[in-house]
Amino acid sequence: MYTAMQMKVGPFVFCLMLLVPPSVHAAEELAAETITVAGEVYRVIPDEVFRKMGFEFPDVPPEENAAYDYIEAINQYTPIKDADFRDLYYLVIEKGWDHAPPMARVHADGNQITFELLRAGAGKDQCHFPFLEVSSPLSSEPLWNMYNLFGAKVREMARFLRFVGSMHEHDGDFAAAMDAYVDAAALGVHVSQDNQLLDALVGMAISRIGLHSVRACAARRQVADKVLLAAQQRLAKIRGLRPSCLDVVGSERVFSREALECLFREKFLSGGWPNVLSLEGWLEGFLLNVPAVQDAIRLGNNRFWETFEAVAALPVAEYLEHHERLLREPPIPSFLAVVGSLASREPIIRFRFLYERENIEWIVTDVFVAIARYRAKHGQFPEKLEDVKDLMLTDGIDPFSGEVLEYRREGDEFVVWSVWQNLKDDRGEVTRTLPMDAADLVWTSAPKSEMMKE
């Protein structure tokens, strides 16, 4: 999550995290390793450098680390030449393989090694990308350099999996199609799991590419029950690897409170070095080197985290009651308002809603597959959701209402919806925006539904 705090100190925090000139040079005794990503060679900053600074990273053996499969998949991937992949991708997704030029199949078949590597990664439980030197200390946006290195490329891998899955759908091999879509969902979970490096929201977006495709295939195709069950069971296992809301928000503390403390310890900032042409930047740089300010920011962040941790486990309805109160609590003493945005509260609080929004995607996907399994057994969609209760591997609960998701059959189609953040059942009213008082979140089996596009 690119919080207001990161936007204020992003260049300094991420230069410290990704480059860490003082720490890296102090750790020259550590063996320098390099890694190739998309044809470029980068130096790896050992995790031990960050562990000595107080960060916690998993110690994952390379052979068990899905990240290295994904990196090698990126290296092996060959984009379509003399064509715009995104245009071809959307042509296939929107109109199907019957409307795709021959190069689409050549592209899919020619990247078989990439596909096998993505499958291998999706079958693992842990994922931790290495930290690489990707920017100079004077870069203004090292975060986005890191995103472009991994985030955008990993998302392209998810689109490629969806692309391959649509080819298998066209060929009538729904088992292979479902496997490819579930692999994409697993890729997203892995990115979210390793949210010290990649934005957790990127991981959620990647998972939704796969989950959307699973739902579409299940609802629009006559898929055999055993194929649906196998996909449903795989999704349940992958769902269990998702980090909790507190885990993900806790990782945001790595980029805020803990990273800031490391920043102070290393004395990386020197009175107004960054943004020297800005009065606000100069004053911020000056204040951040004042011990009293550093202590106040740490105290404010710790106090907020304790409060957030206490309410994060509450049902969404009760959580909402605390929302405005938490926003009103000053993160740091008012006399430090000039740097108050460093500890902005709204992004971290609203992450609960974003997390639950993605959580619903997993629950709804399970519901869709259970409904498709019912149709495979009975030849039609159920009249009510209770009819598929025994076929679901989740409880089907809408985290915003605390009740089972809403459902209705509409002829040969069906609609599932969540009451969303206003906590009111608007009978599946569709909305194009998602403000706090938005109408319901809606998913439907109808083809080319705007609510199902990602």
pLDDT tens-digit profile of 239-256?
999 988 777 666 554 444
Residue with tokens 């200390």: 137
Q: Is the pLDDT of residue 56 over 90?
A: no
Q: Is the pLDDT of residue 191 over 70?
A: yes
Higher pLDDT, 234 or 22: 234
Report the distance separating Cα 355 and Cα 245, nearest Å.
6
Q: Is the pLDDT of residue 259 over 60?
A: no
Q: What is the average pLDDT across 37-51?
A: 83
Q: Is the pLDDT of residue 212 over 60?
A: yes
The C-alpha angle with vertex 432 and arms to 1 and 183, in degrees rounded to 5, equals: 55
Rounded alpha-carbon distances, angstroms, from residue 248 to 167, 205, 280, 313: 34, 15, 31, 13
Dihedral sign for Cα atoms in the order 412, 418, 422, 425 = positive
What's the pLDDT band for 453 if we cut at 50, 70, 90?
A: very low
- The per-residue pLDDT for 426 is 85
Mean residue pLDDT across the chain:
75
Do residues 92 and 160 make contact, with C-beta atoms less than 8 angstroms apart?
Answer: no
Q: Is the pLDDT of residue 68 over 50?
A: yes
Dihedral sign for Cα atoms in the order 206, 207, 211, 212 = negative
DSSP 447: T
- Please tell me the pTM assigned to this model: 0.80
Higher pLDDT, 123 or 147: 123
184-206 b/e with 16+ CB inside 10 Å = b? bbbbbbbbbbbbbbbbbbbbbbb
Most confident of 65-69, 93-97, 270-274, 332-336: 65-69
Task: Record the tokens describing residue 443, joined without a space.
Answer: 């998913």
Q: Is the pLDDT of residue 304 over 60?
A: yes
The neighbouring-strand residues paired with 408 are 415
pLDDT in tens, 327-380: 555 444 433 433 443 444 455 556 777 788 889 999 999 999 999 999 999 999
Report the distance separating Cα 213 and Cα 215, nearest Å.
5
Domains of the chain by residue range: 59-127+141-243, 250-351, 373-452
Q: Is the pLDDT of residue 386 over 70?
A: yes
DSSP H helices, 267-345, are 279-287, 291-311, 316-328
- The per-residue pLDDT for 271 is 36
Higher pLDDT, 44 or 227: 227
Q: Rounded to the nearest 5°, which phi and psi values hold at 250?
A: -60, -35
What's the pLDDT band for 61 if we cut at 50, 70, 90?
A: very high
Q: Is the pLDDT of residue 276 over 50?
A: no
Rounded alpha-carbon distances, angstroms, from residue 278 to 272, 274, 334, 376: 9, 9, 22, 65
What's the pLDDT band for 283 if we cut at 50, 70, 90?
A: low
Q: Is the pLDDT of residue 322 over 50?
A: yes
- The per-residue pLDDT for 204 is 85
Higher pLDDT, 79 or 304: 79
- The per-residue pLDDT for 323 is 61
- The per-residue pLDDT for 136 is 43
- The per-residue pLDDT for 418 is 93
pLDDT in tens, 82-95: 656 667 777 887 77
- The per-residue pLDDT for 303 is 67
Most confident of 40-44, 199-203, 328-332, 396-400: 396-400
What's the pLDDT band for 281 if we cut at 50, 70, 90?
A: low
- The per-residue pLDDT for 261 is 43
